[in-house]
Amino acid sequence: MTVGDRPHEEYRSLLGAWALEACPRREAAEVGRHLAGCPECAEEAARLREAAGRLAAEDPLEPSETLRQQVLDWCLARRAPELPVPAWAAPYAAETAKLDALLRDLGPQEWQEVAELPWHGGVERWRPAEVLAHLTAVDGYLAPALGLPDPVPRAEPPRVPAQRSPAAAVLERTERLLAARPAREAVAVRARWREQGHALVRAAALRPRGSAAVDFGFARLPLRDAFVDRAFETWVHGEDVARAVDYPYPPPLARHLRLMVDLAARMLPLALAAANPSDGPPQDGRPGRVVRLVIDGPAAGEWLVPLDGTVPEGPPVAELVLDGLEFCSLAAAHRSPERIPAGQHGDRGAIAELLRAAPLLSRP
């Protein structure tokens, strides 16, 4: 049976996405026209829309944290996406959607609350719109690798070039973006951030290999790692905003958290080099040291972290056991190395060195 431009069953498969307002505008219009002439689909669509309305009601029903993802997975199982999002870009897509859901629920007063964003260089204190401008500015580092425009206006070159740290460059980009437009107006900031996020994900879907390089100043990362990095910071700063407005904010999905943990673990040698810039491989013939990092919980795994620049052939000098969420909080400088709950075996000095270095991965 065919009604309109598509087979009846294809319209039926779109009803779940239509009820969640997840269809593109043109497709939603097609579904609406079909519903006007198909009582069977109209009845089912009404039931689905009513159920979706209950989930968005003011009185929380305490649904499972993964319910929205389960519904979307069901919809995608009925009809695969025309342009699948690569696995390495999925955490960013999920974390931006989660933060956007928080922003949707903020009232005028909550947009004026000040969130504290700790990092290893101090604490930034920004309102939600300023946090969004910051995320937009840093996400903009990905734009050149994807052929997209940088959202941050170009700065006038100084007469005498100055040496700037990567952190200072990030903060400067944020300030330029804040100064360029009415960046503290919630509607405008959220719209610009959403538009850029959607453009980044669409562009990533066209480059599934993710091999282009992204220069963050402190390091050049493959595009696939850069997307995980942006998912990590979006989650962390989303949690900062949620804490400021007393909003429940779930952690990342387990498979996404695993990618974030893996990236942070692989970048620990960079943090160790920053903590001990004069250190390098031992020059007196002694073998270098390595710590086995064991992550518990949903993101479980093991990594060998060299403390002296290279992975030695000998056994690890110590083993450090951490929960995945605690490890990410440490890497984001949201936990103190001295107070984080951890299992420790072997050389305590080597473990302390790694714990002190991990927060250096954080950036404003």
Going along the chain from its start, the domains and CATH numbers come out as 2-78 (1.10.10), 90-250 (1.20.120.450), 260-361 (3.30.1050.10)
Structure tokens at 279: 């250190």
pLDDT digits (tens, 9 = 90+) for 206-252: 887 877 899 998 889 999 999 999 999 999 999 999 999 999 999 99
Helix H segments across the chain? 8-13, 15-19, 25-37, 39-55, 67-78, 90-104, 128-139, 166-180, 186-205, 223-245, 254-275, 324-331, 348-357
d(CA 307, CA 54): 52
Average pLDDT, whole number, for the chain? Answer: 86
Which residues is 306 bridged to in the sheet? 290
CA quadruple 26, 32, 34, 37: dihedral positive or negative?
Answer: negative
Coil, strand or helix at 346: strand
Pairing relationship of beta strands 290-296 and 301-306 according to DSSP bridges? antiparallel
- Rounded to whole angstroms, the Cα distance separating 136 from 173 reads 10
**How many secondary structure helices (H) and strands (E) does the chain include?**
13, 10
Residue with the two structure tokens 């950036």: 363
pLDDT at 78: 60
pLDDT in tens, the chain (364 residues): 444 567 888 888 888 888 888 788 888 888 888 888 888 888 888 888 887 776 654 444 445 556 666 665 666 556 555 678 899 999 999 999 999 999 999 999 999 999 999 999 999 999 999 999 999 999 999 999 999 999 998 876 654 445 678 888 899 999 988 887 655 578 889 999 999 999 999 999 988 787 789 999 888 999 999 999 999 999 999 999 999 999 999 999 999 999 999 999 999 999 999 887 655 555 545 568 999 999 999 899 999 999 987 766 789 999 999 999 999 999 999 999 999 999 999 999 999 999 999 999 998 8
- Give me the amino acid identity at 4: G
H-run or E-run covering 318: strand 318-323
User: Do 241 and 253 touch, CB atoms closer than 8 A?
Assistant: no
* Largest Cα span, the chain: 83
DSSP assigned state of 140:
G
Amino acid at position 176, single letter? R
A 10 A CB-CB count for 357 gives 23
